[in-house]
Amino acid sequence: MRTSKRRRLRSTAALLITCCLLVTMIFSPEKHVFAATAPVAASVEIGKTMAISINGFYVLFPGEQTPYLKSGRLMVPLRAFANAIGAGVLYDQKSRSATISALGEPVKGIRAGIGLAVYDWDLPLLLKPAPEIRNGIMFVPATTILQGLQTYGWEAMSGLSGTKTLVIKDLLAASAFRMVAALSDAEQAPFPVESTTHPYPYFPIGSTISEIKDLTGKTAYELTLKLQNSAGMPVPGNGSELEIHAVDAANKEISAMTLKGPQQETGKAQLISFHTTVPMETQFIVFRSRILK
């Protein structure tokens, strides 16, 4: 009896979703579908987005794929975000909708301008804010998608300096996360685990990225990371480093580098910048910092 009742409830919910989708399709203007596009010249500043941490790394989606806040919710680029957390995305041209799935758990019927999707195969999932298209890229509310996938643990974490981070922990993250996690040098201080009491020494405040030509004439992206000392104490000169990895759309690491910290002492809550270049094929960047022994 309970099973039959649950099935009837699910069928009713699915019917309601279908009706809502049809009504929205009829009365909503046509929108462009999402596409995986390369980042272009763009910037993001503090207060306009929220930092993202996946399996111990900060994650940066550069250029036009930069996440942003809308109605207090973090909006992320669907395809790039899916790659970063190890999920897959399929697009149905006929219904003009996307499906994101992980470990066989899908969120279906994701469509620009529509605040309803389906999770657990036939249950309604309210998307607030509704997915939207920006420069040909579909953005979705990160936490709602994570909730629908039912595979990931996450929380919005506040740091010592009032900063906020969406912390995601999972076992499916892109191979780049697992690969670089093994690169820590035992002779150096370990990379800390982010928490409210022991954050990374440098917190991402903003970034800029622009197209340039390198010394060989090859097109690349110049990346500037704007960071804040959130260690709760001054960081000694020549006493820190930043590890950066660029990952492409196939979840392959295409660039890796370690940047030395400032030669001068970095005061508590002081802002600093790191500059480097990454390949044009970069879809997202993972990075972390540490204070050396």
Domain boundary residue among 84, 119, 153?
Answer: 153
CATH number of the domain that 256 lies in? 2.60.40
* pLDDT, position 130: 97
Tokens of 176: 């780049």
Average pLDDT, the chain: 78
Residue 281 belongs to some domain of the structure = yes
Report how many domains make up the chain.
2
- Range with the poorest average pLDDT among 132-141, 170-179, 215-224: 170-179
If you ran DSSP here, which 8-state letter would residue 162 be given? S
126 and 219, same domain (yes or no): no
Q: What's the Cα-to-Cα distance from 115 to each of 100, 107, 236, 274, rounded to whole Å?
A: 16, 13, 49, 39
**In this structure, are residues 58 and 204 in contact, taking their beta carbons and an 8 Å threshold?**
yes
Q: What is the pLDDT of residue 151?
A: 84
What the block records as the tokens of 223 is 């990346």
Examine the domain organization and report whether 124 and 191 are in the same domain: no
Tell me the per-residue pLDDT of 58-71, one tens digit each, with 9 for 90 and over. Answer: 998 887 888 999 99
- Give the model confidence (pLDDT) of 231-246 as tens digits: 889 999 999 999 999 9
Residue range of the domain that includes 129: 2-37+47-153
Q: Answer with the residue of higher pLDDT: 34 or 182.
A: 182
For residue 24, tell me if it sits in a domain: yes
- Domain contains 166: no
pTM here is 0.75
In a domain, 25, yes or no: yes
Is 268 a residue whose pLDDT tops 50? yes
pLDDT, tens digit, for every residue of 138-148? 999 999 999 99
137 and 197, same domain (yes or no) = no
Look up the CATH number of the domain holding residue 110.
3.30.457.10
Whether residues 56 and 98 share a domain: the answer is: yes
Identify the three-state secondary structure at position 191: coil
| Angle of helix 78-85 versus helix 142-149 axis, rounded to 10 | 50
Q: Is 163 among the domain residues?
A: no
- Look at residue 162 and tell me if it is in a domain: no
Whether residue 164 lies inside any domain: the answer is: no
